[in-house]
Amino acid sequence: MNKPKHQHFIPKSYLKNFAEEIGGVKVVEAKLKSDEQVKPKPISIKDICVNKNLYTLAHREGEDKYALENYYAEKIDQVYPEIYGWLTDPKLVKITPEQRIKILLTTMSLFFRTPKFLNANQRRTNIVLDYASKHFKDEQGNIKFKFRGINFDFNIEDIEEVRTSLKVKNKQAFLENHIRDWHEFVKFKMKAAICVYRLVDDSELITSDNPVIMHGVNNIGLLNPFDPTNMISLPLDNKHYLSIFPNTEEAMIDTIYRTDRDKWFSLTTNLQVEQSSDDWILGKIGTVKKHIADQQKYGENNPENLQEVENMKKRAEDGHELFRFMELFGFPSKPVVERLRWMMRKEYHRNDPEILKMVVELAKRGYYL
């Protein structure tokens, strides 16, 4: 009987793309986010992003207890290398509906299956019970209060039993709800554009124990995965970065858009990765140390850095607008050519490798700038 009690919430098939082999062991460089005094260190991918019995179904018997973990192992983790191959293959531009579903299903599992939602509910349980013990306890130690439609009635001597019971319920809700939300989310994003960025210089990307980054115009406070304005991102390895754009009817869903980026892109995305992480930031050996050093170097408020940040914002805004033109009018097209001409007149777009690549492609098709 297979009893996988130590269960990866970020699969090894994902982590290995940031790993290096040392002494026959696949390791990543890892840094505990909360402790600034602890330096990055190599850790085996077997021992990171793993929880005991996270997906074990306690109310079932025998092999059924591990049905969810086995499902992830067979249907997601074993499939990921194929998905990764598609996303990082520069020659693959057109995809089938089946490929698109597999890409969304596999990559977005890395968002819904992590324990961040469960951990948040467990912390909330502790806060609620601690608050109740201070403000709702009578002289006999009895506690009566109502929270979110639940009537609590227990004695302070039983608070740990109540806490344990609530945490069991929280875990059961997590196991049931995250599967439902994950599959509904894949349906929700079927008309969102997919883009893969590739770093063309010597800069490198890091990842984390919560690698999917999600933010949108309406995401203020509590994250809403079903906000249609969400921009979703995931580092694929130290050189490739996946983005899933906000929902649009105009998206060409049979296409993977591909574009090149440089160190300024990696600096900002690495910072977002660190901010989004729960406990650990991870990467190839040396990349986490370099990320920390780069953030200190380029975080200084000197004129050069401030100007580059402003230029980076402008390039991003122009790039999104160009992307919108390509969706609306196609590539090649006269509106796209005119937009590129306008961009090439801007100093901050000078020598942009992505623009130069598009100019070459347009020339091949009879469009000259």
pLDDT of residue 95: 94
Q: How far apart are CA 162 and CA 144, in angstroms?
A: 13
pLDDT of residue 148: 74
Strands 207-208 vs 50-52: parallel, antiparallel or unpaired: unpaired
Give me the phi and psi of 194, to 5 degrees please. Answer: -115, 130
Residues of the chain below pLDDT 50: 1, 220-222
How open is the CA angle 266-276-319, to the nearest 5 degrees? 40
Q: How far apart are CA 270 and CA 233, in angstroms?
A: 11
Residue 104, Cα to own-chain centre: how many angstroms? 12
Provide the β-strand partners of residue 220: none
SS3 155: strand
For residue 29, with 0-12 CB atoms within 10 Å meaning exposed, 13-18 middle and 19 or more buried, which class applies? buried
pLDDT of residue 305: 63
- Tokens coding 158: 């039983």
The C-alpha R_g of the chain, in whole angstroms, comes to 24
Give me the phi and psi of 164, to 5 degrees please. Answer: -65, -45
pLDDT of residue 303: 73
pLDDT of residue 221: 44
Q: How far apart are CA 126 and CA 120, in angstroms?
A: 10
Contacts of 319 (CB under 8 A, 6+ apart): 259, 354
Q: How far apart are CA 274 and CA 106, in angstroms?
A: 22
Q: How far apart are CA 355 and CA 200, in angstroms?
A: 14
pLDDT of residue 255: 87
Q: How far apart are CA 287 and CA 305, in angstroms?
A: 21
CB 81 within 8 A of CB 324: no
Sign of torsion, CA 285 194 322 188?
negative
Helix and strand counts by DSSP (H, E) for the chain: 11, 14
At 121, which helix (H) or strand (E)? helix 116-135
pLDDT of residue 3: 62
CA neighbor of 18 nearest in space, from 207, 289, 200, 275? 207
Structure confidence by residue, pLDDT tens digits, 236-272: 999 999 999 887 655 577 889 888 888 888 888 998 8
Strands (E), the chain: 6-8, 20-22, 25-32, 41-44, 50-52, 142-147, 150-155, 192-199, 207-208, 213-215, 231-235, 240-247, 256-261, 280-283
Q: How far apart are CA 126 and CA 340, in angstroms?
A: 55
